[in-house]
Amino acid sequence: MKYPLILGFGIVAVDVVVWRARLPRNDLTRLFIRLGLFFALSWVLFSSGLSPFTRAPYDNVVELHWLGQVLEIIWWLMGARLFTLSLDTLLLPRAWRKQRLFSDVFGAVVFLAAAVAALGFVLELPVRGLVATSGALAIVLGLAIQSTLSDVFAGIVINTTEPYAIGDWVTIDDVEGKVVEMNWRATHLQTGQGNLLIVPNAVAAKAKITNNSRPGDVHGLSLVIEIEPEARPRTVLDALERALTGCNGILATPAPYARMKRTTMNSVQYEVVAFVDEMNKKLAISNELFDLCYRHLAAAGVALRTLGVPAPALGVLDEKEALLKRVSLFDSLTGEEVSRLAKHLSRHEYKANQQILAPDTVPDSLSIVRAGVLSVSLIESSGSREIARIGPGEAFGEAGLLAGLPMHVSISTLTPSVLFQLGKDDMTSFLKDHPEVAKQMCQLLAYRQDKLGELATQMPVDHEKGRSLFQWLVGKVWNVHSLHDESKGS
């Protein structure tokens, strides 16, 4: 064969271009192309007498001899690289390929073996003495980098047992984060604050690991609430169970629960445990659940307070006034105005699974939840669909009370409930003196219409021709309650 060196280095150059330019883009196709180039290089070498298992010929021409030596060494290294790539692409599981640990360690071993073979066959160096010397050197290096070696072998154990994989949310000891990278030395976690935390493999192998992503469709969340010791446990647990009932973002199976966790010198700790179907829901559901716990505890007369200090003195507000103070509609009222409005509230008790409001009816009163959990459902052709749950401190019925609009939903109790109601006549006399409250209610109603259009009827043509929903509602309220024009404001 003429010019085997030129042909051999040409094949190597093509292989470098395919490797560096990543052509073609498909990994498997690119691997087969490189394997074909390697077999072509092998044919060129063996057919021209340039066997990688012997010294290169051309002893009489020094330049050609050394070029042949270099080409034979390249053959060994190229073969080692393609062997590790073939094993990585064709045989290793996908999870191992992502983590790179096994392929990196195995590739290093194969390259070391190829380098020793090239030194022995091509350069004809005394490999036995080299291996003996490298063994002593390896002992010295092993003692110097023993912590790094422990990370490597711990990483092999982690990749073999697979307690977690890339993309899983894990807790290693007390640190929680998402696994974004696993290499020969460490596991990289992205924490909830967006920071990158690097955990050495040796530490992870000895730590207590909680994989929050397995099983993939159930993720638990836990809230620990400290309550004053004077509160009766049954009262607290009932309130916490109502809070769990009022949170419709949690799973019914596994069933959520509340329990007394432990006692301390100043408090009793209660734990609320629930489950969600997606990891990214945990934060929002935890916040919602804590708010529900606070409201249901307050409705049960159990107030959260700073421990270690005396309980605050009871105020002069009675039950009705305290309830009105928790409703955002009446935030602008003074104490005297709250007291006046509270006198018109009437108390109503309902059993569980009792309908309070039927679809397409016009409420003639504003209802405020004192205790319990209520379900808001939309009646569709395919059946009833729950769209929300409401609890203590929340109000409904302002659509009918303010503007005479029917509500297209059904509201029923999920637990025994207590409601306070304010009738239309009492509200009319109050709004004449406090038109700003009417505007606040119109804003709330307009917001609900934008977010949940099922809660009100379609707006008339004059609204759709240019008037905003809020402006239309204000005009409707003034007509229904016969308020004076000068009280409208802007």
Q: Interior CA angle at 446 toward 443 and 447, to 5°? A: 85
Q: Regarding beta strands 409-413 and 374-380, do their DSSP bridges make them parallel or antiparallel, or are they unpaired?
A: antiparallel
Read off the pLDDT band of 488 (50, 70, 90). very low
- Count the neighbouring beta carbons within 10 Å of the beta carbon of residue 176: 15
Whether residue 397 is predicted with pLDDT greater than 50 in this model: the reply is yes
d(CA 420, CA 425): 15
Q: In the chain, what is the straight-line distance between the N-terminal and C-terminal CA atoms, in Å?
A: 97
The whole-number pLDDT of residue 37 equals 92
Q: How confident is the model at residue 235 (pLDDT cuts 50, 70, 90)?
A: very high
Residue 461 scores a pLDDT above 50 = no
Could you give the maximum distance between any two Cα atoms of the chain, in Å?
118
What pLDDT is stored for residue 286 in this prediction?
93
The secondary element (H helix, E strand) that includes residue 324 is helix 319-326
Task: Identify the sign of the CA torsion 70, 75, 78, 81.
Answer: negative
Residue carrying the six token digits 């003692």: 143
Quote the CA–CA distance of 288 and 6 in Å, as a whole number: 73
Tokens of 162: 């697979």
Sign of torsion over alpha carbons 423, 427, 428, 429? positive
- Is the pLDDT assigned to residue 387 strictly greater than 70? yes
Q: Which domains does the chain have, with CATH numbers?
A: 4-144 (no CATH), 163-211 (2.30.30.60), 219-299 (3.30.70.100), 319-487 (2.60.120.10)
Is it the case that residue 454 has pLDDT exceeding 80? no
Q: Hey, how many other C-beta atoms are within 10 angstroms of the C-beta on 199?
A: 19
Task: Please say if the pLDDT value at position 447 is more than 50.
Answer: yes
Cβ-based neighbours of 388, under 8 Å, separated by 6 or more: 248, 375, 376, 452
Percent of the chain's residues with pLDDT above 70: 81
pLDDT in the model for residue 133? 59
Contact 403, 473 (CB under 8 A): yes
**DSSP 8-class letter at 305:** -
Q: Tell me how far apart the alpha carbons of residues 254 and 237 are, in angstroms, rounded to a whole number.
A: 19
C-alpha 177/C-alpha 397 separation (Å) is: 44
Going by C-alpha positions, the residue among 331, 268, 256 that lies closest to residue 304 is: 268
Q: Is 455 helix (H, G, I), strand (E, B) or coil?
A: helix
* Of 4-18, 234-248, 266-280, 296-310, the least confident: 296-310
For position 272, what pLDDT does the model report?
A: 96
Structure tokens at 290: 């804590």
Return the sign of the alpha-carbon dihedral for residues 400, 403, 408, 413: negative
Decide: 166 and 182 in contact? Cβ < 8 Å: yes
**Three-state SS for 373?**
coil
Q: Is the pLDDT of residue 470 over 70?
A: no
User: Is pLDDT of 466 > 60?
Assistant: no
Residues paired with 437 in a beta bridge: none
- pLDDT classification of 455: cutoffs 50, 70, 90: very low
Q: Report the alpha-carbon distance of residue 3 to residue 321 in Å, rounded.
A: 101
CA 72 to chain centre: 53
pLDDT top residue among 330 and 97: 330
pLDDT in the model for residue 489: 44
pLDDT for the residue 288: 93
| Cβ atoms of residues 35 and 82 within 8 Å | yes
Report the percent of the chain where pLDDT is more than 90. 26
How far is it, in rounded angstroms, from Cα 80 to Cα 179? Answer: 31
Distance of CA 257 to the CA centre of its chain: 22
Mean pLDDT estimate for the chain: 81
Assigned token pair, 156: 């092999």
| pLDDT 10s digits, 118-172 | 888 888 777 666 565 566 666 666 655 567 778 878 887 887 788 888 888 898 8
Residues 166-216: tens digit of each pLDDT: 888 898 888 888 999 888 788 999 987 888 999 998 888 888 888 888 777
Instruction: Give me the pLDDT at residue 251, please.
Output: 92
Sheet holding 365-371, edge to edge: 346-350, 417-423, 365-371, 395-396
Using DSSP's 3-state secondary structure scheme, residue 198 falls into strand
In 3-state terms, what secondary structure has residue 123? coil
DSSP at 316: S
